[in-house]
Amino acid sequence: MSNTAPPRRPRVWIADDSPTEAKITQRTLGDGYEIEYFNDGSLVVERIADGATLPDLLLLDWVMPGMQGDEVCRFLRSHERTRALPIILVTASRVETADIVAGLAAGANDYVPRRDLTIPRRA
């Protein structure tokens, strides 16, 4: 019998004010992740300020009430603890080239227009 613990699943935070869109994102990722949801960007910032263990990846909607995705990116990039946190903006409404440039300039590592996401078919 082995005493080794099972490998830790990657921790992904999904910040999206639409529960439906958040579920689509989770379903697209699959079951191999530990997911935590936030419906407002300010809740992400509060969770980090409370000393939470950082996620391995933050999937961040752009348009949300309270703090929007670009504001969250700029905030996280301005602090040493979160400067290297991988952030991907995922949005359905800000999909023009200028939006992509603005999202990357705000500190996102990548940008995925929601229309590019596909939902895997279940067998």
pLDDT in tens, 7-59: 889 999 999 999 988 998 899 899 999 999 999 999 999 999 999 899 999 99
Phi first, then psi: what are they for 11, rounded to 5°?
Answer: -95, 125
Please indicate, yes or no, whether the overall pTM of this predicted structure exceeds 0.85: no
Q: How confident is the model at residue 118 (pLDDT cuts 50, 70, 90)?
A: very low
Structure tokens at 92: 């359905």
Cβ distance 18 to 38 under 8 Å? no
- Radius of gyration over alpha carbons of the chain, in Å? 15
**CB count in 10 Å sphere of residue 121:** 5
Q: Domains of the chain, with CATH numbers?
A: 31-116 (3.40.50.2300)
Average pLDDT over residues 57-83: 93
- Cα–Cα distance for residue pair 44/5, rounded to 1 Å: 29
